[in-house]
Structure 1
């Protein structure tokens, strides 16, 4: 996983602000900043943003939704979405990717991380036993890549991690084709 972040950071360092969409508690955003990236985080959960701000006080975190991303057109040099797209229903993914393309500068990279599979399930318990009610959608990399192409992205690479595990993971690297 750190290797995927290092590749992403190399492509955006010094190019301007980078958004970590669905940043959760902020550790990936903070790691990117440690790699010299001007990264900030956006998450739907005010509680997660509160945790991120407390844990990483010098880093910008905002409450926001990837289905209605409130960032300016072409305002970010790169976009990262790790394990946040898994909470978006299939019929909303094209809207999310349209927002990603809109806010990303022409030629800017996007990196997605997600669970691989063909199932959706309701998750009722979070890490540490906390109650929750969110859907988790597992998807095939080919399907996610197709949605990205339809939204105007060029696929550059795909990594499949732990293919023999119960829940494999995938990374897609793409670029705004504008």
Structure 2
């Protein structure tokens, strides 16, 4: 199957901004307390369910992957950007990082105990989200957990610069209820939601969703 055309813009843009991203985006210990709490709750759910690995999709330079590992989770990272993967491997040589796309994950069926999609789906055009969420369902083991976090709204953004560099990616902010519906249509049951108003470093509304692939 040919690679979706939007992926090339995302890959090239994040290759361009990789070093600046590392300097400008706060590490997990500088996140707001509620986001850190959602990550901790996700890690506990995955640990309780068993020992299958967790994929951090759109892992960037690997800091959140390492944060999950520090919470006792067997985590590995996947990212489109070779330069992001190189940064992650350099910083965390004991963890596994792989180049790959959420539209065709380099993972077998029913393999994962958890998926983290942390601010990594908003570059996906809405018409591709059913395919992405179907990949989440395919690769999660029955009973496996998903933590999704991202900006929400009703906008199609076409920035020319990001993190101080030229970029060609686009962003698609969806109402939270639409994302919930798409996850449920993919066979994932949403079990909790957290909505965050703009504040601090974030100038847009954000949300987190916990979901689960039913055990049966």
> For this structure pair, what is the TM-score category when the shorter chain's length is used for normalisation?
over 0.9
Tell me the alpha carbon deviations over residues 8-51 of structure 1, each in whole angstroms, 9 at most, x when there is no partner: 00011252210001111111100000111000000011111111
Aligned partner of 1:19 in structure 2 is 55
- Could you tell me which of 132, 151, 167 is aligned with 2:186? 151
Of structures 1 and 2, the one scoring higher in RCO (CA 8 A, sep 6+) is: 2
Instruction: List aligned pairs for 1:1-150, cutoff 5 A.
Output: 1-13=35-47, 14-127=50-163, 129-150=164-185
C-alpha separation in 1, matches of 2:60 and 2:67: 13
User: Distance in 2 between the 1:149 and 1:19 partners?
Assistant: 20
Gaps of at least 5 residues in structure 2 are 1-34
Q: Based on CA coordinates, which of the two structures has the bigger radius of gyration? A: 2
Query: What TM-score results when the alignment is normalised by the length of structure 1?
Result: 0.95
Name the SS of the counterpart of 2:111 in structure 1. Answer: coil
How big is the alpha-carbon RMSD for the aligned residues of Structure 1 and Structure 2? 1.3
Number of equivalenced pairs: 177
**Normalising by structure 2, what TM-score?**
0.79
1:167 maps to 2:201: no
Q: Post-superposition, which runs of at least 4 consecutive aligned residues in structure 1 deviate over 6 A? A: none
Deviation at 1:136?
1.2
Q: How far does the alpha carbon of each residue in 1:127-165 deviate from its partner, in whole angstroms, 9 at most, with x for none?
A: 2x1222111111111000000000001110110012577
Distance of 1:130 and 1:53 partners within structure 2: 23
Q: Give the Cα separation in 1 of the matches to 2:52 and 2:203.
A: 38
User: By how many angstroms is 1:55 displaced?
Assistant: 1.5
User: Counterparts of 1:163 and 1:143 in 2: how far apart (Å)?
Assistant: 20
